[in-house]
Amino acid sequence: MLPKYKRILLKLSGEALMGESKNGFDPFNPQIIEQYANDIKRVTDLGVQVALVIGGGNIYRGMNEHDSGIERAHGDYMGMLATMINAMAMQAMLEKIGVFTRLQSAIKMEQIAEPYVRRRAMRHLEKGRVVIFGAGTGNPYFTTDTAGSLRAIEIQADVILKGTRVDGIYTADPEKDPTATRYDEISYQECISKNLKVMDMTAFTLCMENKLPIIVFDMNKPGSLLKVVEGSGIGTLVK
Ligand code: UDP
């Protein structure tokens, strides 16, 4: 089957990497990283160009100034470093299974990552390498969802895929409301008017203004990523 999308940006949350583990000293579950890597390989094998943004919420989030006593901006930089740890874990696993990768960081870390250079990233993608964008946008007060939207637009990705633990966007929180139903497709405007939380507002607005479609899908189900890329209609498409 011919893939529907040629170039994708996959956004994975940091928390998803933890699996069931709730222990801060054990931030990722190797089985989950392995499953993600295998799923990514299946789409790169089809010739799809894959860029990746990973969150850091399993290790550190900067927003809790009041609880931590750490100033917001300082904590946000800590959060950006957390995304680099996840990015390196993902990179190691991808390389282990034979996927070529490049890690680009929005904060200079010469020994471990290339600096973010848009045109270079695009060149890597053309050569079939998975490009992992680490350290978010490089700026405090942003999220990795915003980094994902921004990079997706910059590299002219066809779509941003938000891999989560739920299989799409629902009329209400399916964990709280058993009558909630899933949207197959929904417009940006409808998400806003119904106050559906797809991404934070900054990230969402970037997608909307630049007409970048978003697909929310369950990344923890092996094989889902491939189905999404083939255009088989799983998850929720926002456009
Ligand atoms: N962060 C930031 N700027 C960015 C991206 C991330 O300051 O451009 C910080 C912020 O503190 C955030 C943390 O990094 O809480 C981890 O990222 P995020 O919460 O987006 O991760 P996820 O929820 O996807 O695991």
Is the pTM higher than 0.80? The answer reads yes
- Provide the domain limits for residue 136: 7-238
Question: Is residue 71 domain-resident?
Answer: yes
2 located within any domain:
no
What whole-number distance in Å separates Cα of residue 61 and Cα of residue 118? 26
Tokens of 159: 């779509």
Per the domain annotation, does 78 fall within a domain?
yes
**Domain annotation covers residue 1:** no
Q: For 16-51, how does the pLDDT look when each residue is reduced to its tens digit (9 = 90+)? A: 888 776 655 678 888 999 999 999 999 999 999 999
Residue 209 binned pLDDT confidence (cut-offs 50, 70, 90): very high
Q: How far apart are CA 159 and CA 238, in angstroms?
A: 10
Predicted pLDDT of residue 23: 59
Beta strand 236-238 with 214-218: parallel, antiparallel or unpaired?
A: antiparallel
Residue 112 in domain: yes
Question: Using one digit for the tens of pLDDT, what is the confidence trace for 162-193?
Answer: 999 889 999 988 888 999 999 999 999 999 99
Q: How far is the CA of 78 from the centre of ligand 1 (A)?
A: 9
CB 60 within 8 A of CB 75: yes
pLDDT value for 25: 63
Number of domains into which the chain is organized: 1
pLDDT at 157 (0 to 100): 98
ipTM entry? 0.94
Least confident of 75-79, 151-155, 172-176: 172-176
pLDDT at 19: 76
d(CA 223, CA 235): 13
Inside any domain, residue 46: yes
pLDDT at 98 over 70: yes
Site residues for ligand 1, CB cut-off 6 Å: 13-15, 55-57, 61-63, 75-76, 79-80, 82-83, 136-137, 139-140, 142-147
- The per-residue pLDDT for 105 is 98
Domain with residue 212: its CATH number is 3.40.1160.10
Distance CA 215, CA 233 (A): 10
Long-range own/partner contacts, residues 61-66 (CB < 8 A, 24 or more apart): 62/140
> Which residues carry a binding-site annotation for ATP?
11-14, 57, 61, 164, 170, 173
86, 111 contact by CB (below 8 A): no
- Ligand 1, atom 16, lies closest to the CA of 56
- Is residue 126 within 8 A of residue 117, CB to CB? The reply is no
Q: What is the pLDDT of residue 110?
A: 97
